[in-house]
Amino acid sequence: MSEQREVARQSGTSLVFACSGAADVGAISDRAARRLSAEKSASMCCIAAIGADIQEIVAKARSAGAIVAIDGCSLECAKKVLEQGGFQGFAHVQLEDMGMGKGKSPVTDERVETVAQEARKFCCR
């Protein structure tokens, strides 16, 4: 088990941020994060609120037991927004690394579940 997973397992609430981009892979990232939130594996939070430095959401993220960022493509917008907000050491799932090409990966339940399954490994509840 990776160090990230061990930390997640031992701590409290998990938060998931998706890039939620306009591309098909962005939509898959969003759907996967919503799935984790619906099943209570993690709470989905707004990545835009981190970018906008909304203190309520930043504080929530700072107190999270684990953070999982899901990005649709190698531009890694969610990861960069979190890093610019001062977050480090969070788990990261990137769909191109999982063989889902941008513009070539229509949203399907199977793809959403594949991503959710990968992100779920880093959640602690």
**Residues forming the site for ligand SF4 (CB under 6 A):** 19, 21, 23, 25-26, 71-73, 75-77
- Residue of minimal Cβ distance to ligand SF4: 21
Q: Which is nearer to ligand SF4, 50 or 77 (CB)?
A: 77
Distance in Å, CB of 102 to ligand SF4, minimum:
6
> What is the distance between the alpha carbons of residues 87 and 99, in angstroms, rounded to a whole number?
27
> What is the distance between the alpha carbons of residues 122 and 5, in angstroms, rounded to a whole number?
5
Q: Which is nearer to ligand SF4, 27 or 123 (CB)?
A: 27
> What is the distance between the alpha carbons of residues 116 and 35, in angstroms, rounded to a whole number?
7
Q: Which is nearer to ligand SF4, 76 or 113 (CB)?
A: 76
> What is the distance between the alpha carbons of residues 89 and 106, in angstroms, rounded to a whole number?
30
